[in-house]
Amino acid sequence: MSFVREEARAALWRWRGVFGAAALGVIGLWLALLGGFLLLPIGALIVALALGLGLLAWRRLHFAQTDDAPGVVELIEGQVSYFGPTSGGALALRELEELRLLTQHGQRVWRLRQTDGQTLHIPVAAMGADRLFDAFASLPGMDTGALVAALAPKTTAPAGHALTIGPDTRVIWRHPARAALT
């Protein structure tokens, strides 16, 4: 028997990273306010750590979407897999060449392209797609602020359009050019 409603529990669970960072910041502030030669710098370091963790948790919170789209995303040891009702596939992150956000059948979709040209389309709202934030953040040169900003709410195409290429298509990341060996 639970005394907390299911919706409230889900909301608290989504915000757990932000709450944890805030609690860590309060502890660091308390240590810093105690003063002294040792506690002041330790408290300041803990507050700085809490600010960094809080920013990361805030970005993760805004990256997560509802699980309305069909399919499941798995991320295991650098390999992204999507299992959908009509499509799916797997792709190694080390072979990723480009990451795009586009609109397909009225829903937003991540388009991942490998160096050999194979693509994998993953709905933003697929179950487990929130795990992609850490995977995308580990890409060389990825700006997590731009990643979160790409998911900012905007008007979507009507459901009848098969694929929207144009203003709704955004290149989020491209692999930096590799230097040629001479």
In our burial notation (b when 16+ CB lie closer than 10 A, e otherwise), range 49-62 reads: ebeebbebbebbbe
Pairing of β 107-114 and β 96-104: antiparallel
DSSP characters over 97-121: EEEEEEEETTEEEEEEEETTS-EEE
Dump pLDDT digits (tens) for 79-111: 999 999 888 999 999 999 999 999 887 888 999
Which residue has tokens 């997590």? Answer: 144
Closest by CA to 87, choosing from 124, 135, 63, 119, is 119
Q: Widest CA span of the chain, in angstroms?
A: 68
Of the given ranges (71-85, 124-138, 161-175), which has the lowest mean pLDDT?
161-175
pLDDT digits (tens, 9 = 90+) for 7-64: 888 778 888 999 999 999 999 999 999 988 999 999 999 999 999 999 988 887 776 6
For helices 6-14 and 16-34, what crossing angle results, to 10°? 60
Q: Within its chain, how far is the Cα of 156 from the centroid? A: 20
